[in-house]
Amino acid sequence: MKKILIVSALTLGLASPVAFAQHDHHSGEKDTSLGSPGDPGEVSRTIEITMVDNRFKPSEIKVKQGETVKFLLNNTGKKKHEMMIGTPEDIDKHNKMMKKFPDMEHPDEPNMVSVAPGKTAELVWHFTEAGTVDFACPLPGHFKGMNFPGMKGTIEVETK
């Protein structure tokens, strides 16, 4: 009986990140309002973001519709941080999942990157529609806090 429960728990734990990575809504269609993974060969500019413990600098970014941006993420903090591009609902959902599985890795999620302390990483993203796109660090205790606004920001995608 214990073996069945352990196998079931492991199966659910491994399936959850895969289901989340699809970014599908109830209709079964992908949400393209966030954009899509960008082609590194088509990057129009690089935006440097510093990840300090529990905040992004800058936390407000402006890009143009149709632009492919490389985010160069420099973690100057003492903790591991992540940058996840998503809807507020997706980010909140992933934050809750990270609370249950804090050591979970997600190397196959193109809208997210993990950065160890003192390291640099990059995320290339193509912005397809005008509007506001959110980003955050969904790690437990980073996204929302009691005495700080949380490690999150917005990307304003301006019309061409």
Which pLDDT tens digit goes with each residue over 85-144?
998 888 888 788 878 877 777 667 889 999 999 999 999 999 999 999 999 988 887 767
CATH topology (fold) of 33-158: Immunoglobulin-like (2.60.40)
Q: So what's the pLDDT on residue 84?
A: 93
Query: Helix/strand/coil (H, E, C) string of the chain?
Result: CHHHHHHHHHHHHHHHHHHHHCCECCCCCECHHHCEECCHHHCCEEEEEEEECCEEECCEEEEECCCEEEEEEEECCCCCEEEEEECHHHHHHHHHHHHHCCCCCCCCCCCEEEECCCCEEEEEEECCCCEEEEEECCCCCCCCCCCCCCCEEEEEEECC
Dump pLDDT digits (tens) for 6-41. Answer: 433 434 444 433 333 334 333 334 455 789 999 999
Domain borders along the chain are 33-158
Which of 43-52, 64-73, 144-153 has the lowest average pLDDT? 144-153
Which pTM does this prediction carry? 0.76
Q: So what's the pLDDT on residue 129?
A: 95
